[in-house]
Chains A and B, each alone.
Chain A
Amino acid sequence: MKLTVIAAAIAVPCNLVFGLAASWAIAKFEFVGKNVLITLIDLPFSVSPVIAGLIYVLLFGAQGLLGPWLSQHNIQIVFAVPGIVLATIFVTFPFVARELIPLMQEQGTEDEEAARSLGANGWQTFFRVTLPNIRWALLYGVLLCNARAMGEFGAVSVVSGHIRGLTNTMPLHVEILYNEYNFVAAFAVASVLAFLALVTLIIKSILEWRHGGEISAARA
């Protein structure tokens, strides 16, 4: 349980910042490599999470590319918390950016230009104009991102190593309990997860209902 929250608590803000930065760059500026960036953002959608997990093992595992260097410096990533966080960040990568890019593209740059012509600097423009324009879509993206972060199974399963009490997130725990024929416990944990999902759904519906217009650009 604790690990699930930790993983989400690190992965969601990371992807919030990354998603914001990426969509800001993609929607408001022209630069070389823009299409490559968009493709990269979509990668986690097209690659199976299990493969993502395996790549992490390949990179950071004991026999992996960076393995020797990591063990020299006494850093453990795979089969430890950092691995789980990294895997979670990877699979939740697209949620915020995918939600924001269409909206920001639709809004264009006129508001920002207006702010600039009135003397606002970059930060003032961002916090007073850009952010308020996208706040509800951003919240929506974060919510989806969070839901996925808590529920992720595949990638996390590969990198975690299933060490009970140490590297076990809730979805993994459900699997272990189930395989041990401990149905009562398995369903109890599953219910907690389901409850979290339900809360997310309710918040999501409220957002859609109250601020549908501002989010819908991403839907259309």
Chain B
Amino acid sequence: MAVIDIHAVSKQFGSFTALRQVNMAIKEGELVALLGPSGSGKTTLLRIIAGLEFADQGHVSFEGVDAATNPMVKRRVGFVFQHYALFKHMSVFENVAFGLRVMPSGQRPTNTDIKRRVEELLELVHLGNLAGRFPTQLSGGQRQRVALARALAIEPRVLLLDEPFGALDARVRKDLRRWLRRLHDEMGLTSVFVTHDQEEALELADRVVVMNNGEIIQSGTPTEVYDTPATPFVYEFLGNVNRIPCQLEGDHASFWGQSILLEDLPVGGQKRTGLAYVRPHDIEVVDGRATMGQPAIVRHVSMLGSIVRVDLAVEGAERPIEMELSRTKFQQLDLRTNSAVHLRACQARAFPA
């Protein structure tokens, strides 16, 4: 059952259209990533779900109840802000306790209950020993976890996170990601997070929703959006890709002397030009002596830890072709700068140019 239903939501800021006719349903227990470049409307959508912003048209409902009749408090939504928005004049303890202290006097827990609950939450985020510190005395990762504990204090059904790892360094980011995924599963939350980092979205989410220009371009599991992008935009946004001019005819695209079947993008009968999209790791070197495939010359080799990236020059192409291969494979092939090779694509999709 859908916890959150977003129906035909549009939002305008002056002359800028942030969202146009967005439809989306979020299921119980899902971890959804809203992925897109800046200005794509992803944060606006998140803020509308939270009730921090209101849709000009359309409506959002929580478990069938229209959110417009349901103020922010009753939605039971936890929101984690991009810059954490911790209360600077309050200790970590008081920050986490805030949501409990402002409850109407009838529902407010007693001081001992608040203390117990806050201590539990701080244990959960591994900050039990920092309760007395102030936000300015914490590192970025610690602040992020305080912000999470604070949002979890009101026992939200839905957790919304705005660029949760944006301001953290790579190492902390990786740890926090895994930790957040565990937390989501253990607490049985429904979570939505906004990111412009495709790696983060692919690693963390059950479902990735790709947005651009205020519209949802594609929504699917990480594998779906990565392997079968719906548009060239999604292709380029979800990682590096080579664009190779090709000929489209019927349901086939031909380039580099190979012909590829277009599965769900049939293009009329007549011949026309298009672009084939091939991921760097989907390009391979054909046996050196063969004459099949596309001739190319190795221009540059960069070692990127476990993988090796090779830039290749192909005659007639203005941009070099990028290829990624494992270290073992690279050593077997014994590639050097200026060596001549033949390439083929083992997976590709083509779109009309």
Contact = CB atoms under 8 A, between A and B. Distances in A.
Given A113-B52, A124-B102, A118 B150 contact: yes
A143 B170 CA distance: 47
Given A113-B52, A114-B79, A128-B98, A119 B85 contact: no
B81 A128 contact: no
Interface in B48-107: 50-52, 72-73, 77-79, 81, 83, 85-89, 98-99, 102-103
B81 A114 contact: yes
A78 to B, nearest CB: 45
A117 B84 CA distance: 13
Given A110-B83, A113-B85, A124-B102, A118 B153 contact: yes
A33 interface: no
Interface string A194-208: 000000000000000
Given A114-B85, A133-B89, A120 B98 contact: yes
B52 A116 contact: yes
B154 interface: yes
Contacts of B86: 114
B160 to A, nearest CB: 9
Interface in B192-214: none
Interface in B144-158: 150-151, 153-154
A35 interface: no
Interface in A41-98: none
A118 B88 contact: no
A129 interface: yes
Interface in B294-339: none
Contacts of B81: 110, 113-114
Contact of B89 (A110, A113, A119, A132): A132
A118 B102 contact: yes
Contacts of A120: 98, 102
A133 B88 CA distance: 8
A115 interface: yes
Interface string A131-150: 01100000000000000000
Nearest to A107: B88
Main secondary structure of the interface of B (DSSP, over half): loop
A119 B87 contact: no
Contacts of B151: 117-118
A117 B52 contact: yes
Contacts of B153: 118
A117 to B, nearest CB: 4
A132 B89 CA distance: 7
A129 B137 CA distance: 19
A128 B89 CA distance: 10
Contacts of A114: 79, 81, 85-87, 150
Given A117-B78, A118-B153, A110 B85 contact: yes
Contacts of A117: 50-52, 72, 77-79, 151
B10 to A, nearest CB: 19
A129 B87 contact: yes
A179 interface: no
A210 to B, nearest CB: 14
For A114, A116, A132, the residue with the greatest tally of chain B CB atoms inside 10 Å of its CB is A114
Contacts of B85: 110-111, 113-114
Contacts of B73: 119
A173 B52 CA distance: 56
A115 B95 CA distance: 10
A120 B95 CA distance: 13
Interface in B116-168: 150-151, 153-154
B44 to A, nearest CB: 14
Contacts of A124: 102
Contacts of A113: 52, 79, 81, 85
